[in-house]
Amino acid sequence: MILLVRHAMPAYEETVSPADWPLSAEGLHAALALDLPANALLVASDEVKAWQTLSHAGPVLRDPRFGEIARPGEPWDGPYRTMRRSYVDGTVPPGWESHVDVAERFDEGVAEFLVRAGDRPLVIGTHGMALTVWLRSRGLLDDPGTFWEALRFPHKIAVDLPSGTLTW
C-alpha cells in the first residue's frame, strides 16, 4: 500500500523560495492530526513543508524525486491557480517541467521505496501537482484537474497499484 500525502498549509512568503516554506501554525496543527500507519516507511520531498507534514510520525527520508514540479516564471500574484489547473489538465507552460519528466522521476522514487518498505506501508509526503501528474500517468485519474482542485492541505490518498484503485 502507498499513502500519498499532500503537504499541509505552509507559511508562504514571496521573498522565500517555496522549497523553504515551513508549515504554518494551522498547517502544523493539521499535520499532527493526520492518522498515519504505524511502522510505515516515511519518505518525502526535500521541500520543508512536505517532510514536516510527516515528521510527527517518525523519521522521514527525503528525496527530491517527490518534489513539486519545476515552474520557473510562475507569477506570485498572478493567475497561478489557473496556470496550475491548466498544467495538470495537460498544458505545459514554457519552461515548466514536462509531465513525462515528473512522472518518470516520481515513478522511480516510488519503485525504489516500495522495495525498501518491504511489507510495511509506504507513506510519501509530496505536492499537489506532482502527485496528480503521477497518478494520471499511471492511468488512475479520469479528470486530473477536478482531482487536483479537490485536494486539501493536507490530503491523504491511498493508492493500490495492483488493483489500480484510489481511496481519497
Residue 103 in any domain: the answer is yes
Q: Which amino acid, 90?
A: G
- The answer to whether the CB of 52 falls within 8 A of the CB of 28 is yes
Domains contained in the chain, number: 1
Q: Give burial (CB, 10 Å; 0-12/13-18/19+) of 120.
A: middle
Residue 74 in any domain: the answer is yes
Residues across the chain: 168
Cis omega (within 30 of 0) for bond into 154 = yes
Residue 20 in any domain: the answer is no
Residue 61 in any domain: the answer is yes
Q: What is the pLDDT of residues 27-78, one digit of tens each?
A: 999 999 999 999 999 999 999 999 999 999 999 999 999 999 999 988 888 8
Looking up residue 119, the CATH number of its domain turns out to be 3.40.50.1240
Residue 11 in any domain: the answer is no
| Location of C-alpha cell 506501508 | 121
Residue 114 in any domain: the answer is yes
Residue 19 in any domain: the answer is no
| Location of C-alpha cell 501528474 | 133
pLDDT at 78: 83
What is the spatial distance between Cα 54 and Cα 49, in angstroms, rounded to a whole number?
Answer: 9
Is the pTM higher than 0.75? The answer reads yes
Residue 113 in any domain: the answer is yes
pLDDT at 36: 98
Structural domain of 54:
2-6+26-167
What is the spatial distance between Cα 77 and Cα 17, in angstroms, rounded to a whole number?
Answer: 15
